[in-house]
């Protein structure tokens, strides 16, 4: 190798090692970090505001529903509604052999009760007595059927 070639290579190497300024400086790095922090704080504030608005809406809806419940409590309860509440709920599983008989007896007793009310309002004493006897017979049959169900369920 020639000295001239070596000298040319060294000059090129020396020219390539000059300092290149960075694409950004420390101040711009701090500015970008501050911008990111501001955006993050804005998003957090927006999320907190939204959460507070939702909580207030839920509290308002709860108070409104409680006030609506007070209005419903003031509604007078009719005799039919009171009877429906007092009636025991039918079980989900029933015995197929006696359920139809029990349901038919209950329906027949209910229709006799309605007829008794109309007869008492109209003042028919003979009709009231006949209906009461029929109701007593049906109720005795009903209680015997229920007793038989209880006894058979225990065995």
Q: What distances in angstroms separate CA 29 from CA 20, 42, 138, 147, one per listed residue?
A: 18, 20, 95, 90
pLDDT confidence of residue 2: 81
pLDDT confidence of residue 133: 92
Cβ–Cβ < 8 Å for 126, 104: no
pLDDT confidence of residue 6: 85
pLDDT confidence of residue 83: 57
pLDDT confidence of residue 62: 85
Q: What is the pLDDT along the chain (155 residues), one digit of tens a residue?
A: 688 888 888 887 777 666 666 666 788 888 999 999 999 999 999 999 999 999 999 998 888 887 765 555 555 556 555 555 555 566 556 566 677 888 888 999 999 999 999 888 888 888 889 999 999 999 898 888 888 888 877 76
pLDDT confidence of residue 47: 96
pLDDT confidence of residue 70: 54
pLDDT confidence of residue 25: 79
pLDDT confidence of residue 122: 86
Model's pTM, two decimal places? 0.39
pLDDT confidence of residue 96: 62
| Alpha-carbon gap, residue 126 to 20, rounded angstroms | 121
């Amino acid at each position: 190798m020639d000295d001239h070639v070596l000298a040319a290579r060294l000059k090129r190497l020396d020219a390539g090692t000059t300092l290149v300024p960075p694409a950004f400086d420390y101040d711009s790095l701090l500015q970008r970090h501050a911008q990111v922090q501001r955006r993050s704080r804005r998003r957090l504030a927006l999320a907190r505001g939204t959460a507070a608005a939702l909580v207030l809406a839920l509290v308002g809806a709860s108070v409104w529903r409680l006030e609506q419940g007070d209005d419903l409590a003031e509604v007078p309860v009719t005799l039919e509604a009171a009877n429906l509440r007092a009636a025991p709920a039918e079980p989900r599983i029933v015995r197929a052999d006696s359920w139809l008989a029990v349901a038919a007896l209950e329906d027949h007793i209910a229709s006799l009760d309605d007829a008794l009310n109309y007869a008492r309002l109209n003042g028919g004493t003979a009709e009231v007595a006949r209906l009461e006897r029929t109701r007593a017979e049906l109720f005795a049959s009903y209680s015997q059927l229920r007793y038989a169900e209880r006894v058979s369920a225990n065995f």
